[in-house]
Structure 1
Amino acid sequence: MELVSDTSRPPLVYVKGVPLIKYFAETIEPLQSFQARPDDLLISTYPKSGTTWLSEILDMIYQGGDTEKCRRAPIYIRVPFLEFRCPGVPSGLETLKDVPAPRLLKTHLPLALLPQSLLDQQVKMIYVARNPKDVVVSYYNFYKMAQVHPEPGTWDNFLEQFMEGKVSYGSWYQHVQEWWELSRTHPILYLFYEDMKANPKRETQKILEFLGRSLPEKIVDQIVQNTSFKEMKKNPMTNYSTVPTNVMDHSICPFMRKGITGDWKNTFTVAQNERFDADLAEKMVGCELTAHWQL
């Protein structure tokens, strides 16, 4: 593990046209030789779309609802983040070496940067999409507290950068659409954050069915309870409070901030909302995904 304390908010680095956190960009080449296993499960999302929530639900399922087993390590150790790299913290690939099969994996990568073996091995994947207005508000706050990002600047400036695809991981619009298209030919369960908030038990049952697993209803209820935002926010194994403060500064903003739908209404101005709606309509023309959000 590198003992380097200065993450210094470096500028984003472009890889195949995709802007990435500098340290993450450095992992893309070695990641291409990653060997997936048929029994792996990949969690994929654009950032700030419920990734940690889904990760905890899945680990709870894999551990049969045993909460103590799910406290064996922080979520980023239990569910390695494939492209993660940061000075002073074990990388995703390093973490992966100690994970027993069947493995849960996590990524935010667009398809252009995804290791090919995940597709070749027909690895099952679960994707979560979220209302982009809530995504961008959450992402702005995350940029402020996670020091590996460049300075976010003003909210107005960040919103423009998001719409132009100039934030880390690039275009939200392209990300959600290309994974939606992939779900037609690859074993992918495509979920929506809003559905998970509205009926977490139903969505958890949907996940179990996709995995070909079953659990007693009592255990499913326990999983729903233990993966609620309230429980996860106070759980050091899920709230990222174990990450060094030079990487994530929770005094600026907690990693688990609100976990609600519709929070964008507290941040967007009327003018910003109108501009965003027009931009969204243009970039998502003909795409059935937008029907899932109350914009």
Structure 2
Amino acid sequence: RLRTKKAFVDEINKALAKSEGLTLKDLLFYWGTPYPATVCSVEMFQALENLEARRDDMLLVSYPRCGVNWLIQIISDLIFTTIQSKPRMKQIPSPRILATHLNYDCLPRSISKNKAKILVLFRNPKDTAVSFFHFHNSVPRVPSYSSWDEFFSEFMNGKVVWGSCFDHAVTWNKHIEDENTMIIIYEDLKENLTASVKQIAEFFGFFPTAEQIQSIADSATFQAVDNKAEETHGAVGSILFHKGKFVYILLKNLFIEAQNQEMDAKFKVCLDGVKLGIKLKYDVYCKA
């Protein structure tokens, strides 16, 4: 685990180093969708097509700033607690944790062919936007936006890295009933972490004791994760894990009425009434 943790931090630091001096335009690599040029390339997408998924792979998916690093923490603890696995692609013993921000349609074909299990985490889009803006304008070496208004316009038009969060959601909604896919909501995870850990464990075929579930949940609270963020994610850790508090303060300060209305309308067009839209509880978490 220590070796894997160090490799993960090293990859984050490499991406940050590549970001230094780039403009926002330089940061975008287009492969149909805008991706971050610091971690994506033609060669990477070609290699992705040939990735051989294993049936017991654990694929974790979210749009950026929606909690995939949080899921990695939970699943790592779950594996370590229940089977003492110690984690490289072919060299990594099963089960492997694979994490991505990709849409379903961009995944390697072997994922669906081999029916690897996919856990997809969604967060309400207004908090997602604010968190994404905060990340860009807080992380050293990552190019910043000149203003919230500039970012909001690019975000709504899908011109940020990883593209449109609404396109991402619409694509995954088509697979919400797939037997190898489970969709969970960030706000539900935060509200009842212990129950969510149990649900995640059972989906992946782990059956830890009640004590083990509680221990994993205790280690995955915002406070606990934040306390060891620098160890697990290096210098950027404190920004990746921000305790989930600033969003609710900044949300009211950043969104003007016209922007609230624009996002409400976008949600209505894309997700209103569909199963994922209902699970997101937009009226609870997003209505101004």
User: Do they superpose with TM above 0.5?
Assistant: yes
**Which among 230, 242, 263 is matched to residue 257 of structure 1?**
242
Equivalent residue, structure 1, for 2:157: 164
Give SS of 2:135's match: helix
Conservation of the 8 A alpha-carbon contact between 2:58 and 2:204 = no
- Report 1:261-280 matches (<5 A): 262-263=248-249, 264-280=251-267
Q: Which amino acid aligns with 1:256?
A: F
Equivalent residue, structure 1, for 2:60: 43
- The answer to whether the aligner puts 1:31 opposite 2:48 as a matched pair is yes
- Report 1:189-228 matches (<5 A): 189-228=182-221
Give SS of 1:64's match: helix
TM-score, normalised with respect to structure 2: 0.81
Give SS of 1:182's match: coil
Q: CA deviation at 1:149?
A: 5.3
Which 5+ residue runs of structure 2 have no aligned equivalent? 1-9
- Report 1:23-102 matches (<5 A): 23-26=38-41, 27-64=44-81, 95-102=88-95
Q: Which amino acid aligns with 1:48?
A: R
Query: 2: distance between equivalents of 1:275 and 1:183?
Result: 26
- The answer to whether the aligner puts 1:284 opposite 2:271 as a matched pair is yes
Q: CA deviation at 1:170?
A: 0.8
Equivalent residue, structure 1, for 2:6: none
Conservation of the 8 A alpha-carbon contact between 1:233 and 1:239 = no
Q: CA RMSD in A?
A: 2.7
Q: Which amino acid aligns with 1:169?
A: W
Give per-residue Cα distances to partners, 1:83-129, cap 9 Å, x unaligned. Answer: xxxxxxxxxxxx53543211111000112321111111110010001
Query: 1: distance between equivalents of 2:29 and 2:190?
Result: 34
Give per-residue Cα distances to partners, 1:252-289, cap 9 Å, x unaligned. Answer: x7221232474523432233222221222223244233
- Taking a change above 3 Å as real, the CA distance of residues 99 and 259 of structure 1, as seen in their structure-2 partners, is farther
Conservation of the 8 A alpha-carbon contact between 2:170 and 2:270 = no
- The answer to whether the aligner puts 1:173 opposite 2:147 as a matched pair is no
Give SS of 1:102's match: coil
**Which among 132, 137, 142 is matched to residue 144 of structure 1?**
137
Greater shift in the superposed pair: 142-151 or 127-136? 142-151
- Taking a change above 3 Å as real, the CA distance of residues 55 and 157 of structure 1, as seen in their structure-2 partners, is same
Give SS of 2:239's match: coil
Give SS of 2:118's match: strand
Give SS of 1:63's match: helix
Query: After the TM superposition, which parts of structure 1 deviate over 6 Å for at least 4 consecutive aligned residues?
Result: 1-4
Give SS of 1:19's match: strand
* More helix as a share of residues: 2
Q: CA deviation at 1:216?
A: 1.2
Which 5+ residue runs of structure 1 have no aligned equivalent? 73-77, 79-94
Q: CA deviation at 1:200?
A: 0.8
TM-score, normalised with respect to structure 1: 0.79
**Which among 18, 30, 43 is matched to residue 14 of structure 1?**
30
Query: 2: distance between equivalents of 1:65 and 1:234?
Result: 24
- Taking a change above 3 Å as real, the CA distance of residues 188 and 147 of structure 1, as seen in their structure-2 partners, is farther
Q: CA deviation at 1:150?
A: 4.5
